[in-house]
Amino acid sequence: MSDAVYDLTLERIALLRRMVVAWGGTEPGAPTIHPDAPYGSLDRDGDIANVTGDDEGAADEHRALEKGLAVFVQNAQLKPGRYQYHNGLAKLEHGTVGDVFRDAQTGETPEHITFAVTAEHLALIPHLAFDWDPAGDVPRVDPTQPYGVGDTYTAAMGRHLAAVPEVAANDDEDAERHWVRLHREMQPALQIFLRYADLGPGDFQCAGSPAVWKPA
């Protein structure tokens, strides 16, 4: 992917904020947009048309949000802190995707989530590697290489976090266990980021591999 321009419109930002983030894929797994209700209801095209006002272009607009996600996570800003959100997964059949908060015995997941987004989460979010899930027909984070090619996912996490001064060393658990736990927390962290992070509309230029999006 190189030398492309993406138009991040107000409508696309609104759709990104409505996305329902689940957990999918084989190990290690990664955040994915819910295939049955990507924007909150089972009527995907209707949800899109309600935002864009265009009944004809819903499928194209949905497909364009793979790049939209990458643009948003690489450029939007959010401060660390505790955030709350209504969990859209609580009313949906989990089917082929899961929820890191779902109780394994009862199958229930809470309707309201309070979660602390840390500097670690915010340092990792811009490095999430988005692709398209052809089976679910939704954008997702690559479940086998969630932070890009070339490393194990935990090694990639350590490399990205080593460059962040405000990320303190964690002495309470070994590094590997810490990365595994932190990776699973990326589901609520990404959900909160899409709901609350600040970014205005504009054109964004892409260059390099992996793709880096910056204001055009």
SS3 52: helix
The pLDDT > 70 percentage for the chain reads 95
Confidence of residue 2 (pLDDT cuts 50, 70, 90): very low
Identify whether 143 is preceded by a cis peptide bond (ω within 30 of 0): no
CA geometry: angle at 211 spanning 205 and 212, to 5°? Answer: 55
pTM above threshold 0.85:
yes
Q: Judging by DSSP bridges, how do beta strands 112-117 and 212-215 pair with one another?
A: unpaired
Residue 28 burial class via C-beta count within 10 angstroms: exposed 0-12, middle 13-18, buried 19 and up:
middle
Q: What value does the mean pLDDT take over residues 203-210?
A: 86
